[in-house]
Chain A
Amino acid sequence: MTREESSGVRDIAVVAFAQTDVLRTTDDVSEVEMLMPVLHSVLDRTGLKTADIGFTCSGSSDYLAGRAFSFTLALDGVGAWPPVSESHVEMDGAWALYEAWTKLLTGDADTALVYSYGKSSPGSLRDVLTRQLDPYYVAPLWPDSVALAALQAQALIDAGATDENALAAIGARSRQDATANSHAQSRGPVPQGDYVVRPLRTGDCPPIGDAAAAVILAAGERARQLCERPAWIRGIDHRIEAHALGVRDLTDSPSARLAAEKAGAFERPVDTAELHAPFSAQEVVLRTALKLGDDVRVNPSGGALAANPMMAAGLIRIGEAAARIHRGESDRALAHATSGPCLQQNLVAVLEGEPR
């Protein structure tokens, strides 16, 4: 939904963003211990205290930890006394941000804290993610996340949309850009490596890592007080496609395109795009679906091929896009998050800074 469609409602902006370093293992800290420095960091940037926050929303998945309701323990890091208004999505934090944005739109709150985290290190991520698949026809076969992405990559190659060299270049460019991002896990030259599941090689796949991220949203004048150059959310939308892979055209992402259209992404060009494309071939799909020209700076942070902490990587895309606006490096940015196999679910946000 774009601001134009909901005219008369308040403007809402990302006013602060913080993230941890993304690490392969973080077994010396619990989830709340990993999360807390990020919460403090994002609050410090605005001068807000927990008690000042109107709404709190988080994203995570119990399957990563292997423990039911693991997210409730993370609330200790928020300081949930006196009681706070709080919600949780069993998804990437980008969707928690969407919920917080709607909460602010209602006028019930002026500020929101959104955080998400994922520790993939306790389990075997490729196996864990099979449990999000259709339990009748697909999950009993245990097709892992790389295998499903590889089916999509081969479909693209067969369609003539890319080839293995072009895919390798996407990974190389991502990790080269990540050298400027101290939080990224996989930076600089990385061997393209052997096939993990052909046609995808090591270099086409995201590193597996643990991390947490947080953003603060604020409405109207409150945003201007808290941030010199707020990243105004001009539109945000998310769409989903059929879960059965054999029903979908894997070379396209109609849900990403529709979300972008509804978010107003096509009304004016963007200068930056932070895409959540965990596998190299998915960037090919998204660039086309989101109509991104060669003049758009794609994933200056390095993107998900340099760091892909489950449940946080999508929120980090929004945070990175917003931070570029805060710093004056972008005026209009697109941020994208995905969830599910082969880009099944897609969220698109359009962020803008005021003219300088």
Chain B
Amino acid sequence: MPEVLKAPLVVEFPFTRSLGPVQGAFLTGLREQVVLGVKTSDGRTLVPPVEYDPVTADEIHDMVEVAPTGTVTTWAWNPAPRRGQPLATPFAWALVRLDGADTALLHALDAPGPDAVRTGMRVRIRWAAERAGAITDIACFEPYDGDPGRPARTSGQPGGERVTGIVAPARLDYTYSPGRAQSAYIAALSTRRTVGERCPSCRKVYVPPRGACPTCGVPTAEQVEVGPRGTVTTFCIVNIKAKNLDIEVPYVYAHIALDGADLALHGRIGGIPYDQVRMGLRVEPVWTQGARYPDHYRPTGEPDADYDVYKELL
């Protein structure tokens, strides 16, 4: 069995989200070092605030300021901080009920060790030096043995321009492995051969192989070399230039049934004006130096294939 391939796969995106009036007010407040909760119809104050009462589902929007001090309701000591977490040194995760609030906020608590943390301990917010209107404007909590803190202001909404959205960067690192069948396909491509797999039941040859016959639902294993020549079964003309793609438009993108294959794969057609590409056109792959797959397919000059030959592969 050939070696199963592996490669790093990074999924990274800026997660952009808009905020409603409640979340927007809360995150605007954090930027101004003010913590706002929201009042429910039964008089409880939720911090962090939400737009709908978790019990009654009523829409709620009466904002009320709470103190930057509070009490730990539960905690967990994190000896090995992970990427993206609020502190790089060992810290406690804590749910903190701020003074004036009836619910708890999750954040990090900076403490010298687990022996310095207990449920019921008093803490206060340590603000981030630079604040942008995000939950990370709270750098963390820290132990605090003074009196309950007072709200920074007595009433009203915080000043400054209102925060209406957040961008939360996300990055996840994977090691992708395509499994046995696709590894064999990719390994063969490196020697400029195209290898499919034949279904033991219906005898169809699948290219690229995925290890299963989607018709019969059985594993495929018998390798079959197909191509290199093939027939255009259908195509489209692309008129919009893709970002970072150095191909002049218009160009033709086609389904190509390689000789011996029972499934068409897709590729770009070159070496012929775009408006002369047709169903039945016979093509062959064009490799560029060092490439791991054909750059495009070009006409072979053979007569076109009869429709009956490829009609099952459309």
Contacts and interface: CB of A to CB of B under 8 A. Distances in A.
Contact of B217 (A29, A76, A200): A76
Contact-residue size bin, chain A (C-beta under 8 Å from the other chain): 35 or more
Contacts of A126: 82
Contacts of A40: 218
B103 A78 contact: no
B4 interface: yes
Interface in A168-222: 195, 197-200
Interface string B206-224: 0000111111111100000
B77 A127 contact: no
Contacts of B218: 36, 40, 79
B48 A244 contact: yes
A311 interface: no
B166 A79 contact: no
Nearest to A246: B104
Contact of A138 (B11, B106, B212): B106
A28 to B, nearest CB: 5
Interface in B15-69: 15, 17, 19, 23, 27, 46-48, 50, 54
Interface in B111-125: 114, 119
Given A30-B181, A36-B218, A143 B93 contact: yes
Given A66-B174, A126-B82, A137-B135, A76 B214 contact: yes
Interface string B3-21: 0101001010001010100
A126 B216 CA distance: 37
Given A36-B219, A76-B212, A140-B136, A198 B177 contact: no
Main secondary structure of the interface of A (DSSP, over half): helix
B48 A151 contact: no
Interface in B52-96: 54, 73-79, 82-86, 93-95
A197 B78 contact: yes
A242 B54 contact: yes
Given A122-B175, A126-B82, A153-B76, A79 B216 contact: yes
B168 to A, nearest CB: 5
Contacts of A79: 213-218
A143 B79 CA distance: 13
Contact of A27 (B103, B166, B177, B213): B177
A30 B180 CA distance: 7
B82 A144 contact: yes
Given A141-B106, A142-B83, A197 B76 contact: yes
B74 A158 contact: yes
A27 B10 CA distance: 17
A99 to B, nearest CB: 21
Nearest to A158: B119
Given A36-B217, A136-B166, A140-B136, A245 B79 contact: no
A332 B119 CA distance: 41
A114 B134 CA distance: 41
Contact of A136 (B47, B79, B95, B135): B135
Nearest to A141: B86
Nearest to A64: B174
Contacts of A144: 82
A130 B170 CA distance: 10
A153 B114 CA distance: 15
Interface in B157-214: 166, 168, 170, 172-182, 210-214
A33 B211 contact: yes
B9 A122 contact: yes
A322 to B, nearest CB: 23
Contacts of A124: 172-173
Nearest to B119: A158
B242 to A, nearest CB: 18
A142 B76 contact: no
B55 to A, nearest CB: 8
A27 B9 contact: no
Given A122-B176, A131-B170, A197-B77, A247 B103 contact: yes
Nearest to A143: B93
Given A123-B173, A143-B93, A76 B210 contact: yes
Interface of A: 27-33, 36, 39-40, 50, 63, 65-67, 73, 75-81, 122-124, 126-128, 130-131, 135-144, 147-148, 150-155, 158, 195, 197-200, 242, 244-247, 250
23 contacts: A28-B180, A29-B211, A30-B177, A30-B178, A30-B181, A33-B212, A66-B11, A77-B217, A79-B213, A79-B214, A79-B216, A122-B9, A126-B82, A127-B82, A127-B173, A140-B84, A147-B78, A154-B76, A155-B74, A155-B119, A195-B79, A197-B93, A246-B97
Interface of B: 4, 6, 9, 11, 15, 17, 19, 23, 27, 46-48, 50, 54, 73-79, 82-86, 93-95, 97, 103-108, 114, 119, 134-136, 166, 168, 170, 172-182, 210-219
